[in-house]
Amino acid sequence: MEKNEQLENINVKIINSKIARAYTVKNHYMKTFPNPLVCFGVFYNKLLSGVITFGLSPSTEQKIKKIVPNINKNEFIEMQRMHISDSLKQNTESYVLGKIYKLFKANTKIKLLITHSGGCKNDCGIVYQASSWMYFGKELCNDFYHTDKGEYKNIISPMRFGRVPKEIIKLGNQKVGEYLFGKGEMINSFRYLYIYPINKGIRGFLQNKCAEYPKDSQVFRKNQEWINGGDQ
């Protein structure tokens, strides 16, 4: 099937969190579901073939307030999870994100979308670069634990909500991961911040504040050198 024919058969609409949770936990590499404010389903020929969730964390809110000081809390939202079936073509992500931009612009006060790439997958955000998101730098990410079962688990939330004894926390993140999830290892990498301004005025304001896109092969190599050096 030609590319345009496939895209013409894709529909994006809001779905309830139960459906989104079932799909995400089954298909997304994190195997977890956040606390979203809105969930979008990606349907191909009426079959659910992807889910994208949006919400907002306190840490992201603080970051955005530093970059765009005058923006209100109800004017930005964070993309938490995105999974689209591998059976669809590679450019489907950009097409679907374009649909979502339009839905937010037409139906909400949202002016800014935020997302992070990288983390446990060491991906510098190629899909966001292809979709004209703005890049605002990276930070060290040591939140993820890779279990022997092949699952990626975040250790920060359990510690924040008191699920880990203080004596275990004192032993370090590796021991926290073992306590929570069994055998495995912590993953050190970077998390990359991307912003998509729906509002033209904010895009103009951010134009001179964003950085050049990182390149995938360079990022992976430099990350490994930096992390290995930092661990010694």
Give the predicted TM-score (pTM) of the model. Answer: 0.80
Beta bridge partners of 114: 78, 195
In the numeric block, the tokens 């496939």 are attached to 6
| Helix, strand, coil in percent for the chain, rounding step 5 | 40, 30, 30
In what helix (H) or strand (E) does residue 130 lie, and over which residues does it extend?
A: helix 126-130
Report domain extents, the chain.
Answer: 1-110
Query: pLDDT digits over 191-225, tens only?
Result: 899 999 999 999 999 999 999 998 764 444 444 44
Q: CA angle, 128 as apex, 73 and 112 as ends, to 5°?
A: 20
Query: pLDDT digits over 124-160, tens only?
Result: 888 899 899 999 998 887 778 889 988 878 787 788 7
Query: pLDDT digits over 25-83, tens only?
Result: 999 877 778 889 999 999 999 999 999 999 998 888 899 999 999 999 999 999 999 99
Q: What average pLDDT does the structure give for the chain?
A: 86
Write down the pLDDT at residue 159.
85
Write down the pLDDT at residue 15.
97
Write down the pLDDT at residue 216.
60
Separation in Å, CA 162 to CA 131, 141, 144, 159: 39, 21, 18, 5
Write down the pLDDT at residue 122.
62
What pLDDT band is residue 226 in, cutting at 50, 70 and 90?
Answer: very low
What does the alpha-carbon distance between residue 170 and residue 172 come to, in Å, rounded to a whole number? 5
Instruction: Please answer whether residues 14 and 48 qualify as being in contact, where contact means their C-beta atoms are separated by less than 8 angstroms.
Output: no
Write down the pLDDT at residue 45.
92
Write down the pLDDT at residue 17.
96
Two tokens, residue 29: 């590499």
Instruction: Please answer whether residues 195 and 134 qualify as being in contact, where contact means their C-beta atoms are separated by less than 8 angstroms.
Output: yes
Cβ neighbors of 216 (< 8 A, separation 6 or more) are 123, 124, 126
In the numeric block, the tokens 């634990």 are attached to 145
Beta bridge partners of 139: 191
Mean pLDDT of 159-175: 90
Cβ neighbors of 142 (< 8 A, separation 6 or more) are 173, 186, 187, 188
In the numeric block, the tokens 């998101």 are attached to 133
Say whether domain 1-110 belongs to CATH 3.90.550: no
Instruction: Please answer whether residues 60 and 114 qualify as being in contact, where contact means their C-beta atoms are separated by less than 8 angstroms.
Output: yes
Task: Decide which of 123 and 171 is more confident.
Answer: 171
Write down the pLDDT at residue 121.
63
Write down the pLDDT at residue 231.
31
Report DSSP state, residue 89.
-
